[in-house]
Homo-oligomer: A and B are copies of this chain.
């Protein structure tokens, strides 16, 4: 990767994670960093803005950039991160069981969710996620076959996202997610170890590629006591004008 600002971003991020830059301490000023990395100020600002957006630092006009202390508590379920990335990050004893893998014609609900016609085909993937030997999450994923020509058992049991990004070269860009709580369905009771709970947390995701085409709809159904969603949000500038 040749991009200077990304290299600088990663270098500073490493120093934060390795406690070289400590929480609540001040980073070198933008002018110092310019000299240290021999780049223009805009490049430094590009790197620092990315750090700020991702919640690692807070910039304060007239004072400097300060390292935030909140990431050590975070399970970043927020943002876009796959189950495999997540389980690796938090080091859980996790396991995936593939229950169904097929190509279907979408019903009217799915046509609406994926914004396609009934003539197109859709991959349907049903997986159960086991954590510490308990069936906690039921994932129902639907992929527009136009973008994903092939899926196999092996891919679904490993990481679909890794396959899509590395092998197919699809670039996942953004997602809309919706979290609600619902009464557990028969499917939920059949596939999950609900241990008496009669509700599930449902995370619906609409996932888009970098050309803004909708290629996946998914429902992730969680046992309520095991569900946790963490979000880092900045107050928007334009909201403050209202």
Contacts and interface: CB of A to CB of B under 8 A. Distances in A.
Interface of A: 1, 6, 9-10, 13, 24, 42, 50, 53-55, 58, 60, 63, 66, 68, 70, 73-74, 78-81, 85, 165, 172-181, 199, 201, 206, 208, 210-212, 224-225, 227-242
A211 B60 contact: yes
B176 A70 contact: yes
B1 A238 contact: no
A27 B36 CA distance: 39
Copies of this protein, total: 2
A175 to B, nearest CB: 5
Nearest to A197: B199
Nearest to A52: B174
Given A6-B241, A10-B238, A70-B206, A231 B174 contact: no
A194 B200 CA distance: 17
Contact of A179 (B13, B173, B228): B228
